[in-house]
């Protein structure tokens, strides 16, 4: 895989952009070439606001306690 707009924005800490992408329906599940998600990058780079946005979006993918694939 490669870099998505969401992954790049999360890595850079651009919370406004991440929020806009999520509102537009961006998928949080894609992984980069090393297998990292946008949430992984945000955590690694210490972007707490972005982590919160992505964590909430990822939780929203769970239906009845089972994560969608």
CA distance 25 to 42: 18
pTM to 2 decimal places? 0.81
**Binning pLDDT at 50, 70 and 90, where does residue 66 land?**
very low
Name the packing angle between helices 15-23 and 48-59 (round to 10°): 20
pLDDT in tens, 9-54: 999 999 999 999 999 999 999 999 999 999 999 999 999 999 999 9
Its sign, for the CA torsion 27, 15, 5, 41, is: negative
């Amino acid at each position: 895989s490669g870099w998505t707009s969401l992954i790049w924005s999360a890595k850079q800490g651009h919370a406004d952009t991440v929020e806009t992408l999520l509102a537009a329906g961006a998928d949080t599940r894609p992984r980069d070439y090393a297998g990292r998600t946008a949430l992984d990058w945000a955590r690694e780079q210490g972007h707490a606001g972005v982590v919160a946005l992505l964590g909430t979006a990822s939780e929203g993918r769970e239906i009845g306690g089972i994560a969608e694939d």
